[in-house]
Chain A
Amino acid sequence: MLAYILRRVLYAIPILIGVNLLTFALFFVVNTPDDMARLQLGVKHVTPEAIERWKVEHGYDKPLLLNVQAQGSAQFTDTIFFQHSAAMFAFEFGKGDDGRDIGNEITTRMGPSLAIALPVLVIGLMVNITFALLMVFFRATYLDLWGVVLCVVLMSISGLFYIIAGQYFIAKLWNLLPISGFAGGIDGFKFILLPVLVSVVAGIGSGSRWYRTIFLEEIGKDYVRTARAKGLSEVRVLFRHVLKNGMIPILTGVVVVLPLLFMGSLITESFFGIPGLGSYTIDAIQAQDFAVVRAMVFLGSFLYIVGLILTDISYSWVDPRVRLQ
């Protein structure tokens, strides 16, 4: 088990290096620091001096990979690649365009992101499983058929619509909850309620339809027939057997996204003014703050790989038939 985990962790390193090289290529080779400076300072009417000044300010005035003017190991360390890309492995992200330390921002913004993402995940899971089980219980009836159609209808509505409609009706028209904002501690509860509600509702369509297929797949299996033959009631079969076994693919699907919860949701956070990592990313994209975008790419990839490793481990944990080697 330990050897397996170790091997997976070692396997993660070349992937992170690949991500790092790709972002380096995208941000420094294809799109040179000169281009970035021009984009930031305005494409027209920009002097070469202004570009040079911008590059010095941001530390982009060094050679890309090899500094021939420097001595000794500084030939490699005094370069853009070493200082801006390789440094990420030590989680040193440098400063954003606003002069704030990115690493610091990430740690303070993880909390609010998690405050939204975690309740959405847990409540959404419960709601979707409930709907899926109901549809499976009434399978092959009109209730099931129209349930699926309703799911497809809900899926076909743009996520932006749920947010805008939720903000407009619940917050603006009926004044039930604040439109947007965030506060720490107990006061934050009323701010969290609306984004969580909207996100859960937005996810019902695709979630319950997917879980329904998982449960239906289980219900066709032999052990379910055996359970029915023993004389168990349908409800008991559903809860004791189908739900329990159907949870394996559902839970492992959840484990993959667990670490990514820290990243937050771009759109939800931006609409509801949550000071989390999602709105941080979106602000960085809109302000074309490349340092922050690069940091978020690295962080996202890192968390995704952590999720993959956790999934493999959880497989062996919930399903004893899976042996890791």
Chain B
Amino acid sequence: MSFMPVILWTDRLIFALLAGVLVLVWFIRRHEHLRAPWRLVAQRPMAMGAALVLGVFVAIGLLDSLHYRERLADSRADAPQYSVEVLSVFDALVNGLRTRQEKTYSAPLAMQLYAKEFVERDGATVRDYPRLHYGGAHLTHADAHGPDIARRALVGLAQGLAVGLLLFGLLAAWQARRTQTHMGAWLEAWATGRLGWPARTVVLVLALMLLLGGALIQLASGYHVFGTDKVGQDVLYISLKSIRTGLVIGTLTTLVTLPLAIGFGIAAGYFRGWVDDVIQYIYTVLNSIPGVLLIAAAVLIVQVAIESNPELFDTAAARADIRLLALCLILGVTSWTGLARLLRGESLKLRTLDYVEAARAFGVSHARIISRHIFPNVFHLVLIAIVLDFSGLVLAEAVLSYVGVGVDPTMYSWGNMINGARLELAREPTVWWQLGAAFVFMFTLVLAANLFADGVRDAFDPRMGTRR
């Protein structure tokens, strides 16, 4: 099976961002004074546990950003035709989840459809719950349903535990070798928390994720763990696909915000005078417009532009992707003002400090003073803002999608899931699993991001050190 790689705009930016982060990590590792606060972060159990969870989300998001189009089976070899469906490496990994489509709603782990239908049974037509095509299809009798779920869950847990123990053993052996102690001594230090890094939390969180993952994989191979949605698609698959959307909005928006906030904020504080007046005017105007309305106006404009130029996009995915990118741009333009104001205030203070005055007296250029003296001293504020904004942006996506100015309706996102399932709560019996899954996934990501952000803020904010 051959394929054609597809590089969407957000993919490009995501991998550019990843490269940027890696360069930054390399740079920080080489400078001791930059490493010190990160060491503090690494000593916080909550931050490290959260970082692990975030790592899983990011890994899924990155896998989901490698897109391709499959070649159609019946196309000729010299003139290959490609499917209009854009898939990703992640889709290929969870192919079963994607393709096992039912007819309509079904409850989590169910083997029957949610609604009654007329089915043929023993030659007669009766009204009953029809069996699912895939969920629990391997069962011959309904009595085996419960025990089968329990068996699969236990097998999954056992597998997770086995992998976890193996990894833990390897970690202990490696660490004991590195510190040249016995494994027993290392284990004792681990159990009593005397290792200098939050090894207990890290191991526990890792174990929890492995157990959960093991059970999930075992159950997902035979059932729809979170049920299916209105068109019968697996809700677990939709939730996992939504991770990328959330991450893109949380990170790319910041990418747009940073140049604006840093440029305008530092310029206003450093140059003062008319530059300051103009920049303050710009951000008061932007700030005074209610954010949702500005976003709505801009999204409507983008929508018109996309709809009047359909020839620019060869697939629906490319169109949805441009809309996602536009949303990030718009969110970035509306949300840089807070950080800019903060940086302006800080630069105002910094420019009067002796070493800046001295640099100016020596005739050092403005650009050099800003890059050597001002920017490194406000960088911690930028970093704190990045991590703090992330979770807010992920939550904002859901609200914007509800208002109708969020991501493209065809895109997988938690906001679209909530929006689509909101009215189904009124059904009898309630269809709750779609909402539940969206909220659980969103909550996990946002909570991890918040806990990590707290750790970063406590380590980088100089005011925090003196308080406790």
Contact = CB atoms under 8 A, between A and B. Distances in A.
Interface in A289-304: 293, 296-297, 300-301, 304
Given A31-B301, A31-B304, A297-B297, A152 B288 contact: no
B285 A19 contact: yes
A95 to B, nearest CB: 19
Contacts of A216: 467
Given A15-B285, A297-B294, A305-B288, A160 B398 contact: yes
A: interface residue count bin: 35 or more
B84 interface: no
Contacts of B113: none
A304 B287 contact: yes
Interface string B276-304: 00000100110111101110111011011
B38 interface: no
Contacts of B426: 172
Contact of B308 (A15, A43, A301, A308): A43
B443 interface: yes
Interface string A248-275: 0000000000000001001100000000
A148 B403 CA distance: 31
Interface string B166-186: 000000000000000000000
B308 A158 contact: no
Contact of B403 (A263, A286, A296, A301): A286
B279 to A, nearest CB: 13
Contact of B297 (A43, A157, A220, A293): A293
Contacts of B466: 220
A275 B300 CA distance: 24
B: interface residue count bin: 35 or more
A183 B318 CA distance: 47
Contact of A285 (B288, B404, B450, B467): B404
A35 B308 contact: yes
Contacts of B303: 39
In this complex, which of A14, A160, A305 has the most chain B Cβ atoms within 10 angstroms of its Cβ? A160
Contact of B304 (A35, A159, A266, A293): A35
A220 B450 contact: no
B443 A152 contact: no
Nearest to A219: B467
Interface in B417-455: 418, 422, 425-426, 430, 435, 439, 442-443, 446-447, 450-451, 454
B395 interface: yes
A300 B293 contact: yes
Contacts of B399: 158-160, 267
Nearest to B284: A15
Nearest to B50: A152
A73 interface: no
B432 to A, nearest CB: 8
B422 A297 contact: no
A36 B298 CA distance: 13
Given A158-B395, A168-B425, A301 B289 contact: yes
Interface string A147-167: 001001101111111001001
A208 interface: no
Contact of A19 (B288, B296, B418): B288
Nearest to A32: B304
B450 A152 contact: yes
Contacts of A26: 297-298, 301
A24 B397 CA distance: 27
B197 interface: no
Nearest to B46: A149
A117 B467 CA distance: 35
B403 A285 contact: yes
A288 interface: yes
A15 B288 contact: yes
A152 B447 contact: yes
Contacts of A297: 289-290, 293-294, 297
Interface in A125-157: 140, 149, 152-153, 155-157
B90 interface: no
B357 interface: no
A293 B288 contact: no
Interface string A33-67: 00110110001000000000000000000000000
A245 interface: no
Given A35-B308, A297-B297, A263 B290 contact: yes
B289 A300 contact: yes
Contacts of A217: 467
Contacts of B442: 158
Contacts of A30: 301
A156 B446 contact: yes
Contacts of A140: 468
A188 interface: no
A35 B422 CA distance: 32
B300 to A, nearest CB: 6
A50 to B, nearest CB: 16
Interface in A279-325: 281-282, 285-286, 288, 293, 296-297, 300-301, 304-305, 308
B435 A220 contact: no
In this complex, which of A216, A217, A285 has the most chain B Cβ atoms within 10 angstroms of its Cβ? A285
A155 B450 contact: yes
Nearest to B285: A18
Given A18-B281, A35-B308, A43-B308, A156 B443 contact: yes
Sorted nearest first, the 5 A-B pairs with minimum C-beta distance are: A300-B290, A156-B447, A18-B285, A301-B288, A156-B446
10 contacts: A22-B289, A38-B308, A160-B418, A161-B439, A164-B425, A217-B467, A267-B399, A282-B403, A288-B300, A296-B293
Given A158-B418, A263-B290, A304-B290, 6 more contacts: A15-B281, A23-B289, A266-B403, A285-B293, A285-B404, A301-B290
Interface of A: 14-15, 18-19, 22-23, 26-27, 30-31, 35-36, 38-39, 43, 140, 149, 152-153, 155-161, 164, 167-168, 172, 216-217, 220, 263, 266-267, 281-282, 285-286, 288, 293, 296-297, 300-301, 304-305, 308
